[in-house]
Amino acid sequence: MLAACAASLPRAAFAASPQVTSFAVTPTSINNDYAAAFSWQMMNASGGDIYFACPLGTTVKTTTGSPVSCNTRMDIGSGVNVTGSAAYIFTNISGATQNLIATLYPKDQNGTDYDAGGAQTTLSISTSAQPIASASISTTSPYSGATVTISWTGMDITAANLQLQCSPSLSYFATDGTTVLPCDAPAFSTDLPASGSTSFIVRNNSYNNVQVAARIMVAVGNTTYDAIHAAVEYLTVLSKVDQPAPVASIYATSTTVVSAATTTLLWSVQNALGANLQFACSPSLSFAYPQTIGTTTTLVPLPCNMPAFPSALSASSSASIIFTNASDQPQQAVVTVLPLIAGGVYDGTHSANLSLLVQYSGQPAASQTASSAVQQPASPSAGSTNVQTTSSANTPHAPITMPLDVGSRGASVTILQTFLALDPSIYPEGSVTGYFGTLTHNAVGRFQEKYSLAKPGDIAYGFVGPKTRAVINALLKP
């Protein structure tokens, strides 16, 4: 009786569970960035999912280059008694050989994964021997305080970081000159791109040249890096005695200053770690700068006959200063830009001065007179060369109002060339033609380097864009 009942039940009620009968990979061991083929057979299955458990530093993509998600089930097709195959490319940048486990899960007649019928296979992937394809360094013999730039091109990686070798004599800083970078560890808290460049400042506080290594490390993931397969660049940081002398210059938006009004000072110091300002003492003059915190602005008094700011400023920058004349006669104010050199010392020998005429309170506007902007070392040493004196009579007055590049013509180019020609170190040809050619392009580039606006290789180098135009217009006499 029971046998008869069982015989009458639908055959589907006793359908066998789906099962992976074979699952293999060929070859079982591959080099980085090579392909491997997976093949399988399943019984009583409506389809299946493949799952790659990727170790740290490994990635998967299709043979056409499309990324495949690791640790995620991926449908491989449908059909009963499924037989199939698929090839994938595997990348390993972890720094060591990794074993990747692939699992195939069959699906039942309802399309649901039946994990108990699954099967696994293992693929061994060698690590990339050269994840950084190329690297270069801007200088192998930087002086103390110099900016060093490293560039690199990555292969099959997603990110990188910089590691700087420790030395008791050296310290490393970000390009702002104040943020300390760690050594013998990832220099930056945020990873760098797979291909790109980064810059840092290195300072040598000893009297010996020091050789160290800078490594571009591959970011494997989870703040893990492969330093074994890093690209290494070596640099010898020059000692104190090998440093080139600083070259300083200072300008103002106007050399005639209204008492208690804001005046912008701009300076550039090469071959130095930073700079500071110093105001010559005068019984009638006082100095301050406006400091804004939130919505409140206060005037901070500045001392005279000593570095005005408690901490060094950038080597090339600007500052808003208020000169106040308490007398009833115009007063001459002398401002000095002091280069900061190794050991936290300000080099007064290679400083530069600027003379300003500060009006007295209530002086009629008609009596305002422009004076020359004198730029020269405070105490010239033997063999030193004074920076050129800029006369207001030779300075173009109209501002530049448009972007300028090679091929530009007209009055704005004439103003630009006239301004650049005031400094032979920037525009030695001094040709004023009204046409922006190669000579003008090179002069603009040298101006940008002097004021840290751009450097060779930058897209803005030699082009008068908004930032460069603003600095030039600030230096033009009103």
Residue 215 lies in a domain: yes
Please name which of 161, 50, 46, 56 lies closest in space to residue 108, comparing C-alpha atoms: 46
User: 């990747």: which residue's tokens?
Assistant: 100
**How much is the CA Rg of the chain, to the nearest whole Å?**
34
Q: End-to-end distance of the chain based on CA atoms, in angstroms?
A: 114
In degrees and rounded to multiples of 5, residue 308 shows phi and psi of -75, -35
pLDDT at 381: 31
- 218, 98: one domain: no
**Runs of H (alpha helix) within 221-375:** none
In order, the DSSP letters of 366-387 are GG-----B----SSPPTT--PP
Residue 71 lies in a domain: yes
pLDDT at 394: 45
Q: Which domain holds residue 25?
A: 17-125
- 99, 149: one domain: no
pLDDT at 440: 93
User: At 457, which CATH number?
Assistant: 1.10.101.10
- 347, 449: one domain: no
Residue 435 lies in a domain: yes
- 173, 195: one domain: yes
The CA dihedral of 271, 277, 280, 281, to the nearest 10 degrees, is: -150
Domain boundary among 188, 220, 242: 242
Q: How far apart are CA 83 and CA 307, in angstroms?
A: 81
pLDDT at 378: 33
Q: In terms of C-beta distances under 8 Å and separation of at least 24 residues, what long-range contacts does 307-310 make, across chains too?
A: 307/276, 307/277, 307/278, 307/338, 307/346, 308/276, 308/277, 308/278, 308/279, 309/276, 309/277
In the beta sheet, which residues pair with residue 221? 224
Residue 74 lies in a domain: yes
pLDDT at 241: 67
pLDDT at 269: 84
- 415, 434: one domain: yes
Residue 103, CB-side half-sphere exposure with 13 Å CA sphere: 14
Q: How far apart are CA 352 and CA 336, in angstroms?
A: 6
- How many domains does the structure of the chain reveal? 4
- 259, 345: one domain: yes
User: At 251, which CATH number?
Assistant: 2.60.40
Helix (H, G, I), strand (E, B) or coil at 20: strand
pLDDT at 259: 92
Residue 111 lies in a domain: yes
- 174, 148: one domain: yes
Q: How far apart are CA 132 and CA 197, in angstroms?
A: 13
pLDDT at 370: 33
User: At 238, which CATH number?
Assistant: 2.60.40.10
In order, the DSSP letters of 276-289 are EEEE---TTEEEEE
Residue 4 lies in a domain: no
Quick count: other Cβ atoms within 10 Å of Cβ 278?
Answer: 23
Provide the token pair at 231: 């690209």
- 174, 44: one domain: no
Q: How far apart are CA 437 and CA 264, in angstroms?
A: 31
- 332, 352: one domain: yes
- 379, 251: one domain: yes
Buried b (16+ CB within 10 A) or exposed e, 6-43: eeeeeeeeeeeebbbeebebeeeebebbeebebebbbe
Residues 6+ apart with CB under 8 A from 362: none
Output the tens digit of pLDDT for each of the chain's 478 residues. 444 554 554 544 446 899 999 999 999 999 999 999 999 999 999 999 999 999 999 999 999 999 999 999 999 877 766 889 999 999 999 999 999 999 999 999 899 999 999 999 999 999 999 999 999 999 999 988 888 999 999 998 999 999 999 999 999 999 887 899 999 999 999 999 999 999 999 988 888 899 999 999 999 988 899 988 999 999 999 886 666 778 888 888 778 889 999 888 888 888 787 899 999 999 999 999 998 888 888 899 999 999 999 988 888 788 889 999 999 889 999 999 999 886 678 888 889 999 999 998 766 543 433 333 333 333 333 223 233 333 333 445 578 888 898 888 887 888 898 889 888 889 988 888 888 888 999 999 999 888 888 888 888 899 998 889 888 888 875 5
Quick count: other Cβ atoms within 10 Å of Cβ 112?
Answer: 12
The CA dihedral of 118, 124, 128, 129, to the nearest 10 degrees, is: 180
- 251, 227: one domain: no
Residue 306 lies in a domain: yes
User: Is the CB of residue 212 less than 8 Å from the CB of residue 167?
Assistant: yes
pLDDT at 80: 62
**Omega within 30 of 0 (cis) for the link into 27:** yes
Strand pairing class (146-154; 47-53): unpaired
Alpha-carbon torsion (302, 308, 313, 316), positive or negative: positive
Provide the token pair at 137: 């360094």
Residue 2 lies in a domain: no
Please name which of 366, 385, 369 lies closest in space to residue 377, comparing C-alpha atoms: 385
